[in-house]
Amino acid sequence: MADRPPTLNERDQARQARLRQALRDNLKKRKSQLRGRADLAAAEAGVSSEPDSDADKRSRQDEPDRE
Protein backbone atom coordinates (compact mmCIF):
# COMPACT_ATOMS: atom_id res chain seq x y z
CA MET A 1 0.00 0.00 0.00
CA ALA A 2 1.45 3.37 -1.02
CA ASP A 3 1.77 5.91 1.74
CA ARG A 4 0.38 9.12 0.29
CA PRO A 5 -0.21 12.26 2.27
CA PRO A 6 -3.89 13.03 2.50
CA THR A 7 -5.05 15.62 0.01
CA LEU A 8 -6.39 18.83 1.43
CA ASN A 9 -9.82 19.97 0.49
CA GLU A 10 -10.52 23.60 -0.35
CA ARG A 11 -11.44 24.50 3.22
CA ASP A 12 -8.21 23.06 4.60
CA GLN A 13 -6.18 24.77 1.88
CA ALA A 14 -7.77 28.11 2.70
CA ARG A 15 -7.01 27.57 6.40
CA GLN A 16 -3.39 26.72 5.63
CA ALA A 17 -3.06 29.87 3.52
CA ARG A 18 -4.55 32.02 6.31
CA LEU A 19 -2.21 30.51 8.90
CA ARG A 20 0.80 30.94 6.62
CA GLN A 21 -0.07 34.62 6.06
CA ALA A 22 -0.67 35.20 9.77
CA LEU A 23 2.74 33.74 10.60
CA ARG A 24 4.41 35.96 7.99
CA ASP A 25 2.66 39.05 9.35
CA ASN A 26 3.60 38.15 12.91
CA LEU A 27 7.25 37.71 11.95
CA LYS A 28 7.31 41.08 10.18
CA LYS A 29 5.71 42.73 13.22
CA ARG A 30 8.23 41.20 15.63
CA LYS A 31 11.17 42.21 13.43
CA SER A 32 9.85 45.76 13.25
CA GLN A 33 9.47 45.88 17.03
CA LEU A 34 13.01 44.63 17.54
CA ARG A 35 14.40 47.22 15.13
CA GLY A 36 12.52 49.94 16.98
CA ARG A 37 13.83 48.77 20.32
CA ALA A 38 17.40 48.61 18.98
CA ASP A 39 17.10 52.14 17.59
CA LEU A 40 15.70 53.38 20.91
CA ALA A 41 18.46 51.72 22.92
CA ALA A 42 21.11 53.10 20.57
CA ALA A 43 19.64 56.60 20.85
CA GLU A 44 19.65 56.40 24.64
CA ALA A 45 23.27 55.23 24.59
CA GLY A 46 24.23 57.96 22.13
CA VAL A 47 25.26 55.43 19.52
CA SER A 48 24.03 55.29 15.96
CA SER A 49 22.45 52.01 14.93
CA GLU A 50 23.46 52.67 11.33
CA PRO A 51 26.81 51.30 10.19
CA ASP A 52 29.38 54.07 9.93
CA SER A 53 31.94 53.07 7.34
CA ASP A 54 33.87 56.35 7.80
CA ALA A 55 34.47 55.54 11.46
CA ASP A 56 35.72 52.08 10.50
CA LYS A 57 38.15 53.60 8.01
CA ARG A 58 39.41 56.08 10.60
CA SER A 59 39.94 53.40 13.24
CA ARG A 60 41.95 51.31 10.79
CA GLN A 61 44.12 54.30 9.89
CA ASP A 62 44.86 55.03 13.56
CA GLU A 63 46.09 51.48 14.20
CA PRO A 64 49.77 50.78 13.55
CA ASP A 65 50.59 48.12 11.02
CA ARG A 66 50.88 44.71 12.62
CA GLU A 67 53.26 43.02 10.25
- Residue 8's contacts (CB-CB under 8 Å, 6 or more residues apart) are 16
The confidence band for 55, taking pLDDT boundaries of 50, 70 and 90, is low
Q: Residue 1 falls within a domain, yes or no?
A: no
Give the number of domains in the chain.
Answer: 1
| 15-19-22 Cα angle (round to 5) | 140
Residue 66 in any domain: the answer is no
pTM of the model: 0.50
The CA distance from 28 to 21, in Å, is 11
- The share of the chain scoring above pLDDT 90, in percent, equals 36
Residue 38 lies in a domain: yes
Instruction: Please indicate whether residue 47 or residue 16 has the higher confidence score (pLDDT).
Output: 16
Residue 26 inside a domain? The answer is yes
CB proximity list for 42: less than 8 A, separation 6 or greater = 48, 49
Q: How confident is the model at residue 31 (pLDDT cuts 50, 70, 90)?
A: very high
Position 67 scores a pLDDT of 46
Domain span holding position 33: 11-46
- Please give the backbone phi and psi of residue 24, each rounded to the nearest 5 degrees, phi first: -60, -45
What mean pLDDT do residues 13-20 have? 95
